[in-house]
Amino acid sequence: MKYVVVGAGRVGAELAQRLSKQGHEVTVLDVQDVNMDNLSTGFRGRTVMADPLNRDVLKQAGIEGADGLAAVSNNDSVNAVVAHLARTLYQVPNVIVRNYDPRWRPLMEAFGLQIISPSTWGAQRIEELLYQSNLKAVFSAGNGEVEIYEFLAPAAWNGLPVHQLFPDGICRVMALTRAGKAFVPSCDFPLATGDIVHVSATQESASELRRRLQSAQESK
């Protein structure tokens, strides 16, 4: 497979090296030659030191016919423009863009780009850990807009049916594990203390679930 990585910072260099180790044809493009020092001596791909906003430079980097492009520089405007060109002008089938500053994310979303936003995701995960609740995120979709959470059913919920716990649909129960066996419960299935429950929820509904769990724990 043929890939173009725009930006040779820590993320770009690590990505390029991982792709190269898998035997793919990789070209790293960066306007600052000092960033190329992030690449290890064992990197087997090509490097192009020039302005990635220049179409001739993009062609030199092999964007025509590329199977994928990752725009991961620390300049959000460059990432957005290069990724947009890759999708619309060069028809690159798989384009990923890194969002460095969350304030630029709406522009990238307007372009319909596949976005990886470490700042947003990292802040959300730290926030969750700071709560120190028994609600734990075990899977994150996108940049954390929807997550799957795990929690232990508190004693106050013993015997209560699933639909009574989430009557307004704030969460969807994905699975319930009891005595080591997992299954998808029906709406009227009663919980037991210590059941492991997995639910899908948005950030807002997770906050409400966290509040309900806290209230249940305080009532015991």
Q: How far apart are CA 179 and CA 129, in angstroms?
A: 27
Q: In which band, very low, low, confident or very high, does the pLDDT at 129 lie, cut at 50, 70 and 90?
A: low
- pLDDT above 90 for 105: no
Question: CA-CA distance, 11 to 29, in Å (whole number)?
Answer: 13
The residue type at 10: R
Nearest to 117 by CA among 99, 96, 101: 99
* Chain centroid to CA 214: 28
Dihedral sign for Cα atoms in the order 24, 22, 6, 142: positive
- Which residues face 96 on adjacent strands? 70, 114
Nearest to 124 by CA among 106, 143, 150: 143
Instruction: Set out the domains of the chain in order of their start, with CATH numbers.
Output: 2-118 (3.40.50.720), 131-218 (3.30.70.1450)
Which residues are registered as beta bridge partners of 115?
97
Query: Is 34 strand, coil or helix?
Result: helix
**Residue 141, CA distances (Å) to 50, 104, 129, 138 in order:** 34, 20, 18, 10
Q: Give the pLDDT band of residue 27 (cuts 50, 70, 90).
A: very high
- Indicate yes or no: pTM above 0.85: no
Phi, psi of 25 (to 5 degrees): -85, 115
Q: Is the pLDDT of residue 208 over 90?
A: no
Q: What is the CA radius of gyration of the chain?
A: 23
Sign of the C-alpha dihedral computed for residues 108, 110, 87 and 84 taken in this order? negative
pLDDT at 71 > cutoff 70: yes
The arrangement of strands across the sheet holding 172-178 comes to 136-141, 146-152, 196-202, 172-178, 181-183
The residue among 82, 76, 110 whose CA lies nearest residue 95 is 82
Give per-residue pLDDT as tens, 130-144: 765 678 888 888 777
What is the average per-residue pLDDT within 185-197? 92
Half-sphere CA count of 38, side-chain side, radius 13 A: 19
pLDDT value at 37 more than 80:
yes
Q: Is the pLDDT of residue 170 over 80?
A: no
pLDDT the model gives residue 216: 85
